[in-house]
Amino acid sequence: MNDTLVAALLGLLEGLTEFIPVSSTGHVLLAGHFLGFESTGKAFEVVIQLGAILAILGVYAKRLIGVFAAAPHDPAARRFIGSVLLAFLPAVVIGVMAHDFIKTVLFETPLLIAVMLLVGGLILLIVDRMNLPVTHDDAMDLPLGMAFKIGVIQCLAMVPGVSRSGATIVGAMALGASKRAAAEFSFFLSMPTMAGAFAYDLYKNRDVLSAADLNLIAVGFVMAFISAIFVVRGLLAFVSKHGYAPFGWWRIIVGGAVLIAIALGY
């Protein structure tokens, strides 16, 4: 299959899965593996996330501008900004320290990704059925300590297949956030987290990326941006109505299919 077409398909997949708890990186890596797509330094799979970042920034632009405009005189706005930055901090430290291991070992292990999809799917099904106590229903009003704990939990998603949104959503719900607040805080936390991953990965691969690599990244970026807009706009309503069980079943189906494919030698 033509590399440009594959890049477009992978970008579409990235945008569709980035903000739902199914592991976008795991899906993109597995799809690339079975389609025979090899990106330089595995940069494509990380850098196209910029499209998803811009999509969520576009959807939440008015709200975010209001928060930053109010920050100089509104303690609640400053606390919200501080909570997101505090939650982002653990990913900075661990991401920089473990970057090379993640990219050269974990990103190259389809079996690990499939197992993580299965395990994460089971966890989602269990958590979705639990009657967890809700103490926080506003994603913009989470305590700083709670936000930091969510940030620590987010670091589990550095293992592809775990899911950044899945880890943060389950972590937030376990700490007392409602399903909607957990999903929305995951949105907000994704902005600095994915922007940081994008910038650092681009910096690390600056000497090995070619014009052809950048062209493929551009195609994937555009497709990720377009598809992510639709997901962000509809996810909160879907989660409020259906919960997270559908995503758990999807993870189990995909993870099981990949394990079968690997067992058959693909």
**Quick one: pLDDT at residue 80?**
95
**Quick one: pLDDT at residue 128?**
86
DSSP state of 175: T
CA atoms within 13 A on the CB side of 147: 23
76 vs 140: CA distance, rounded Å: 8
Alpha-carbon dihedral 91, 97, 103, 109, rounded to 10 degrees:
-90
Cα-to-chain-centroid distance, residue 236: 15
The rounded average pLDDT for each run of 10 residues, N- to C-terminus, in the chain (266 residues) is 88 91 90 84 81 87 92 94 96 89 81 93 91 92 96 93 92 93 92 87 80 88 92 83 90 94 86
**Structural domain total, the chain:** 1
User: Any residues with CB less than 8 A from the CB of 107 and at least 6 apart, and which?
Assistant: 25, 29, 42, 45, 160
**Quick one: pLDDT at residue 139?**
93
Give the global pTM.
0.86
**Quick one: pLDDT at residue 188?**
93
φ and ψ at residue 200, rounded to 5 degrees: -70, -40
3-state helix vs strand vs coil in the chain, percent to 5 = 80, 0, 20
Query: Among all chains, which residue has been given the structure tokens 């291991």?
Result: 101
**Quick one: pLDDT at residue 11?**
93
Q: Which structural domain, as residue segments, surrounds residue 57?
A: 3-263
**Quick one: pLDDT at residue 197?**
85
**Quick one: pLDDT at residue 107?**
79
